[in-house]
Amino acid sequence: MNYIWFFIILISVISAAYTGRINDMVNAIMKGAQTSVEIALYLAGIMAFWLGIMKIAEKSGLVSGISKLLSPVAKKLFPDIPPDNPAIGDIAMNFSANAFGLSNAATPIGIKAMKELQKLNQNKKTASNDMCTLLAMNTAGWQLVPATVIAVLVANGSKNATEIVFPTLIVTTITFVSAIVIVKVLEKFSPPQTINTGDDKAEADND
């Protein structure tokens, strides 16, 4: 990726020098740098707000409530996760964060869920089916309300930033369903997996 960005910058500099628009390029760089800082600060406030909401939801028991609500669906999508495993709650909150367009907030929750799934994974060098399913869900990124995109549009002076909601819902629904279908089809070609429930470790300790 670094090589790609370097190549793009190099081509831009050469093009600007060849066309005699060095001053325009420098002005664009300065303006872009200023805009990026303004947008970053604007997004920081929104992320702080929603991360706080997520923390309140976790402390108030809303997370466990969402986990129970999504439990039937989660059992279908993640059949290898044992009941009452903390990974279910993490996956539920990760899905919720993505649904509200809080990709930055969803990332640490998703990483935590992956760590829980890795504990269940018997083969530590290969991703389990459940880990692949979670990755597919995050990659598709179903969004009910694209809060981050709306924030970026507002920060850039959009007069009707919410008009992106319906098109985003259609596109992300199609990609989400497609990702789940593909990953479940590919699971059929993967070898059977054994799940580490902790019993093996307990038996080893007793021996």
One DSSP character per residue, 178-203 reads HHHHHHHHHHTTSPP--B--SHHHHH
pLDDT at 33: 85
Planar angle of CA 133, 135, 141, nearest 5 degrees: 105
Tens-place pLDDT, residues 38-65: 777 777 776 677 667 767 876 787 766 7
The model carries a pTM of 0.62
Run means of pLDDT, 10 residues per run, the chain, 207 residues? 84 86 86 81 72 74 70 78 78 78 74 87 84 87 78 76 85 91 86 60 47
Using an 8 Å Cβ cutoff, are 117 and 91 in contact? no
Coil/strand/helix, residue 100: coil
pLDDT at 174: 93
pLDDT at 67: 64
Coil/strand/helix, residue 45: helix
pLDDT at 181: 92
CB count in 10 Å sphere of residue 95: 23
Q: How far apart are CA 133 and CA 176, in angstroms?
A: 11
